Chain A
Amino acid sequence: MTEPASTAPIAESPVIVPALRRKPRGLLRRLLTNPLSAAGAVLVCIAVIVAVLAPQIAPSDPIAMAPQSRLAPPSAAHWFGTDDGGRDILSRIIFGTRYSLLAALGILAMASVLGTVVGLIAGSFGGWVDEILMRLTDMFLAFPALVLAMGMAATLGPSLLNAIVATALVWWPWYARLVRGQTLLLKHEAFVEASRIAGASALRIAIHHILRNCLTPLIVQMSLDVGYAILTLSSLSFIGLGAQPPTPEWGSMVSIGRDYFLDQWWMVTFPGLAIFASVMAFNLLGDGLQEALSPRLRR
């Protein structure tokens, strides 16, 4: 997919497994000694805390209209100003954190489960099953991700849930390829052969031996993709296919703010900054994680 910058996750990286298994503590130290990755980790923690505590820390209701304070510039009362409905933009951004994080998790959960099932079946069975499933993934990968997500979301109808489903439907092939690759590697490992000789069923081997050993690279890949998930979703909302107003979703807030941006600059600036900061946080963390895990990049 974009395509990092592509809004696309990165393909398989088999080096991850041994590195992670070997030294989890060294990994954390390596990650946190890099100032940029550490900054990413801190920002991600802040975003999670803000999302969890949103009702407690938001100064006012994110949805209720307050026409008397319409389009007010940033001030002591409204740090980030108010929007066309007089709603406090800071409060909307705080609540928006929930939508962005939950939606990103939803996309990754759906895409990874679907991709894992397909990849596991393709890798385990091989032969024509593998051939058919992999050509199917190729077909999905032939589309630029955002464009296909756009087409799907439009067919399903504009809503946040449909945007999540559409994005997940576009992203699963990346996970399928990752899991299939891992399955092919693991299939011939001694412990899998031993289990097979001991009489374990194919299903048992797939779940107990192969899937378990796929989890680490899967989780690492997902951590790399959180930022792109947030970005894709806010892009869909911006063009009117994701969250619908008055939902305090960042992309949709920028979209509304666009009608006012020349005079009420705060309406687009702050929600956009929120998207930028959170995506950057996840990307710095993911980038650091990948660099810490891959010996080739660590120079």
Chain B
Amino acid sequence: MIRFILRRLLLMVVVLLGIGVMTFTLTHVVPGNPARLLAGQHATESEVQAVARLYGLDQPVTTQFGIYMIGLLHGDLGMSLTNRRPVMDDLAQFLPASIELTLAAILLVLVIGLPVGLMAGVRRGKPSDHALRFLSVGGVSMPIFWLGIILQILFYKNLQLLPIGGRLGIVDIEPPQITGFYLIDTLLDGDLETFGSALVHLILPAATLAAGSLAVVSRMMRASVIEVLDADYVRTARAKGLAPALVLRRHVFRNALIPTTTVVGLQIGALLAGNVLTEVVFNWPGIGLYAVNAIKNLDYPAIMGVTLVISVIYVFVNLAVDIAYVMLDPRISLSGAAAR
């Protein structure tokens, strides 16, 4: 097990290096004059030259790459062009909001997607199964930015049930920053009223973000339930007279979970990307909204910082999923899993 993890970590170093090469290429090689890009459109020629010297942009490309990578290793993502703060500080400030939203969405995906997929698999070919197919194709076809807006029209304007966006209402007082997760920080602070407000503000964005992944996960769960239902051990369990509910819970559900785990892990990548769109719609102050504001201001260091951070999280999540997969299913040999 430790060898497997070590090997995967080594592979990850290569991938992380690749991500560094890619963002370096995008910021230093693709643009005609990266110094002008960094200095901003309205900078004077001497300012551009000063920026070039400051970031080592007057050096040969290989030296620049060295400087860039050393910076990255020290957590230096450059300065934001809009607020002149280190991009890393900005990201540290906005990341918890994005993670809180993503985790809430994953929770929804698991709590709804798994049982629904199980039901559909068990009732294969029945109307409820067809309905799921229709809904799941609908779910992955939905532009999530549009779904978010429609939910706002419905639940904020028409029904007046839920807030339109943001993490808290205007009258709420921000909890003291401990973890950055409002749901946890308000509880630690003992402020139940603000906790309720944070929870209510989380509902629509999380539902919006979850929609696409919900479709994929329930569909995957259905497929693996169908696979498992045909297995010999399920027939054996039934033949020895186990109650159907027990067979479903103990044999079918647990085994069908194994392939679904991988898909859930892969969906985290989709959710991270979906964050960008959801945060814009709900004015959710996470790194997605930060990225889009950066795009509007052509703030390249900030854009690349977000790209880099999301990709690094993605790589780590994939590693965790691979390890979880091996731990869940002892039949998979570690070397085989590593060779995949």
Contacts and interface: CB of A to CB of B under 8 A. Distances in A.
Interface in A234-276: 234-235, 238-241, 251, 254, 257-258, 261-262, 265, 268-269, 272, 275-276
Interface residues on A, range: 35 or more
A299 B129 CA distance: 12
Given A36-B134, A139-B19, A268-B146, A147 B277 contact: no
What does DSSP make chain A's interface, helix, strand, loop or mixed? helix
Interface in B181-227: 212-213, 215-216, 223, 226
A272 B270 contact: no
Contact of A262 (B134, B137, B157): B157
B22 A139 contact: yes
Interface in B269-320: 269-270, 272-274, 276-277, 280-281, 291-292, 295-296, 298, 300, 303-304, 306-307, 310-311, 314-315
Interface stretch (A13-21, A112-120, A183-191, A277-285): A277-285
| Chain B interface mostly | helix
B10 interface: no
Q: Which of A4, A154, A265, A297 has the most CB of B within 10 A?
A: A154
Contacts of B15: 138-139, 142
Contacts of B307: 143, 147-148, 150-151
A239 B280 contact: yes
Contacts of A62: none
Contact of B141 (A155, A239, A276, A297): A276
B21 interface: yes
A215 to B, nearest CB: 26
B31 interface: yes
A238 B274 CA distance: 13
A148 B23 CA distance: 9
A235 B143 contact: yes
A195 interface: no
A122 interface: no
B276 A239 contact: yes
Nearest to A239: B292
**For this complex, into which size category does the number of interface residues on chain B fall?**
35 or more
Contacts of B80: none
A164 B304 CA distance: 19
Given A234-B143, A254-B143, A240 B292 contact: yes
A241 B295 contact: yes
B212 A2 contact: yes
B246 interface: no
A143 B143 contact: no
A280 B146 contact: no
Contact of B212 (A5, A150, A154, A287): A5
Given A139-B15, A239-B295, A276-B146, A144 B30 contact: no
B133 interface: yes
Contacts of A154: 295, 298, 300, 303
Given A6-B216, A143-B307, A258-B149, A150 B276 contact: yes
Interface string B141-153: 1110110011011
Interface of A: 2-8, 36, 135-136, 138-140, 142-148, 150-152, 154-156, 158, 227, 231, 234-235, 238-241, 251, 254, 257-258, 261-262, 265, 268-269, 272, 275-276, 279-280, 283-284, 287, 297, 299
29 contacts: A4-B140, A5-B139, A5-B212, A6-B212, A6-B273, A7-B273, A36-B130, A144-B270, A147-B276, A147-B310, A148-B307, A151-B307, A154-B303, A155-B26, A234-B143, A235-B277, A238-B277, A238-B280, A258-B149, A268-B146, A268-B149, A272-B143, A272-B149, A275-B146, A276-B143, A276-B146, A280-B138, A283-B140, A284-B137
